[in-house]
Structure 1
Amino acid sequence: MSDFFFAVRNIRASRVNLIMNDYAAGLPSPLSFLGLADLLARKLGLIPWCAGVLPVLHHVHVSEGRTKPEMENKTGMFTPIETMEDMIGTVDVSLLLHLPGCDSDSDVKQQLQHCRIAGGLIQDPSPTVDAVPADGSAFRMLRRGYAMVRPEPTGHRRITMGDPEGLAQTAQTLFPAERAPGSGWHVPSAVGYRLLEDPATAPKRQRTRSSTVPHVFAEPVLGIAELVSVRNARLTGLATTGLHELLWRWHAQGDLVLGHSDYHPERSPIDMTKELISHG
């Protein structure tokens, strides 16, 4: 695994979907940035599902106004050319990327062109991409913002699929009587999916996005993320191993596909990432 990290700085994306899943809205989902990282890995010819990403939010502005999708005349009929969402916005963000097997910032910069974040087009056609150290000093090169990370303490990393008891526990964690010194802001977050079908036996469906990745039905998983200032010593003091562990990275185990292994309720020492790789 290469230790090349890339800082993609000061991205602005418009019309970003701010609905994470059925239970969380108002911020872009960390899974959306993980999807962008995996797309870059595929475009660069790297191993799928192994990319890591850490978003640093600088500004999120919720849009107000038009709620109908834009229409276009196609073959004599007007059809929508975008998905109508109930909550979209403009997002200013920087990214720390880990793309195992890639050591070229110019290649990353080229592949970022015309990419989207949660459906929102990246506005700058030529974003700034630099190779950075694989430790906490990488944060000192970013302007002020809040990294979206898994929460501390570890007890806050519980997940729920929407059962009333789980939602109540999540709400109590989000709104404590007091905030611990040095803690960030805890926010509800989409952290993965629970598969309702087995990818190995799911029927092949028409009009899917990929001919190699099976389409399966799933339900959303709600968890908690933490927004931590990039000037916080929890980030700037990280060693290489700590920074790797902080990244969002796909993890499959059993019927759960999560954006970080720490959210799994029965975390196993057996790495199940191979389950993802075997399906494209």
Structure 2
Amino acid sequence: MIFVAKNLKANSVNLLMNDYAAGLPSPLSFIGLADVLARELGLKPWSARIIPILHAVHVSKGRKKPEMLPKSGKFSPIEIVEGITGSAEVSLIIDLPGFDDETQLAEALIGKRIAGGLIATTNITVRQVTADGSAFSGLRRGYAMVRPDDHRRQGASRGDLESLQQIASTLYPAEKGEGFGWIVPASVGYRLIEDPDTVPARQGTRSETIPHVFAEPLVGIAELLSVRNTRLRNASTEYLNDLFWGWVPNDDLITGHSAYFIL
């Protein structure tokens, strides 16, 4: 069994995924939300998985005000604001192994954040559903953000020109097969540039037990599939299970899905 949380609205959502992709909330941010829920509910950290369904995303106009400090008798900005924020309406399919309380999950979602944006919905509806394509029944129109089926679109780049060009060349294919969705660049993980076992201790980190490690972002491709697409509505338990985003460590890589590989 899995859970569906329907029609959540969040404001001031960060739509800047990483250095290479922007315009939608990052799929990795939804994994972060799932992990926060798992920890609050007393479940195993890093075990939660999630499929975000985007109903609407609106980009905010204008820029945020930079922080100011007095300097030479006048106030001057001390930072350059580079960001894209907006509002988002989403539903979530959540896998929380070992958990089965709809009411408790609904309560835990109140006041949480999606990509930094506070969930404004207070009357949250959560229901348990069967882990197959029927999970998408009853959802309003929207697009599930998932990893692409096509192996050629599962490559990820850490920023070198050649691999970025390979990804860009797959965004607009000459032919679209049956059940094809919208493909978009997306943040799909990180490559560690330090060894967690030998990295020096740093002050001001968020955790006393988890080391602070510098990493570089990975960009890949995500696919937006309509909740009415037959690939989703007719999904078997096995197929749906493979669509969930969740942290996958692999040597110096941490990706949001096991399908992604470095070009």
Q: TM-score range by the shorter chain?
A: over 0.9
Give the superposition deviation at 1:175.
1.5
Q: Give the equivalent residue in structure 2 for 1:278.
A: none
Residues 1:69 and 1:110: Cα distance change in structure 2 (over 3 Å): farther
Q: Give the equivalent residue in structure 2 for 1:8.
A: 5
Give the superposition deviation at 1:244.
1.0
Give the superposition deviation at 1:126.
3.0
- Residues 17 and 85 of structure 1 are in contact (CA less than 8 Å); yes or no, is this contact kept in structure 2? no
- Residues 35 and 47 of structure 2 are in contact (CA less than 8 Å); yes or no, is this contact kept in structure 1? yes
Give the superposition deviation at 1:66.
4.3
Q: Which amino acid aligns with 2:146?
A: V
Q: Give the equivalent residue in structure 2 for 1:242.
A: 239
Aligned positions of 1:1-280 closer than 5 A: 4-68=1-65, 85-265=82-262
Counterpart CA distance in 1 for 2:260 and 2:219 is 10
Counterpart CA distance in 1 for 2:83 and 2:125 is 31
Q: Which amino acid aligns with 2:227?
A: V
Seq. identity, %: 57
Counterpart CA distance in 2 for 1:150 and 1:65 is 32
Most deviating of 159-168 and 203-212: 203-212
Alignment coverage as a number of residue pairs: 254
Residues 1:187 and 1:70: Cα distance change in structure 2 (over 3 Å): same
Counterpart CA distance in 2 for 1:174 and 1:12 is 29
Q: TM-score, normalised by structure 1?
A: 0.87
Counterpart CA distance in 1 for 2:208 and 2:40 is 16
Q: Give the equivalent residue in structure 1 for 2:71.
A: none
Counterpart CA distance in 2 for 1:40 and 1:188 is 27
CA RMSD of aligned residues (A): 1.9
- Residues 157 and 262 of structure 2 are in contact (CA less than 8 Å); yes or no, is this contact kept in structure 1? no
Structure 2 gaps of 5+ residues are 69-74
Q: Which runs of 4+ in 1 moved over 3 A?
A: none
Q: TM-score, normalised by structure 2?
A: 0.92
> What secondary structure sits across from 1:165 in the alignment?
helix
Give the superposition deviation at 1:114.
1.1
Give the superposition deviation at 1:22.
0.3
- Residues 18 and 27 of structure 1 are in contact (CA less than 8 Å); yes or no, is this contact kept in structure 2? yes
